[in-house]
Amino acid sequence: MFTPDALLLALVLLTWVAGYLVGTRRWGLARPELGGALRALLETIGTSAVFLVANLGLAVGVVFMIRAGSGHFVSLYAIDDIALAGASLLQGFLFRWWWGRRY
């Protein structure tokens, strides 16, 4: 039977095929442009990863400065939040779209 991971993969593949078919047949999207869109997606993921590393690095630095400056213990778990990853993803999208508009 299907494992939960296989089921999720099957659902994603099914929606991808449906999106591809609707995009090419109904909306007239060009197939050769898919490579450029994939490149833009990978650039966005990379940009988001850079923002995530920068955000985490800055957060760790702030936590250590608070520890050193105030004498209070602040746990690094305070920055362990999925919202930071979501915000970094949004930063990556915005930066990539801004960067792409210069051409």
32-53 pLDDT tens trace: 888 888 999 999 999 999 999 9
| Residue 92: exposure state from Cβ atoms within 10 A (0-12, 13-18, ≥19) | buried
pLDDT for residue 45? 95
Domain ranges of the chain: 1-31, 35-103
- Reference 48, options 81, 80, 94; nearest CA is 94
Residue 22 confidence class, pLDDT cut points 50, 70, 90: very high
Q: What is the CA radius of gyration of the chain?
A: 20
H or E stretch covering 71: none
The model's pTM:
0.75
What pLDDT, on a 0 to 100 scale, did the predictor assign at position 31?
85
Q: Can you tell me the distance from the alpha carbon of 64 to that of 60, in angstroms, rounded to the nearest whole number?
A: 6
In this structure, what are the phi and psi dihedrals at residue 20, rounded to the nearest 5 degrees? Answer: -65, -45
Q: Which amino acid is at 89?
A: L
More confident residue, 26 or 103: 26
Distance in angstroms (rounded) separating the CA atoms of residues 48 and 89 = 5
Q: What separation in angstroms does the CA of 38 have from each of 3, 10, 26, 32, 92? A: 28, 20, 20, 11, 15
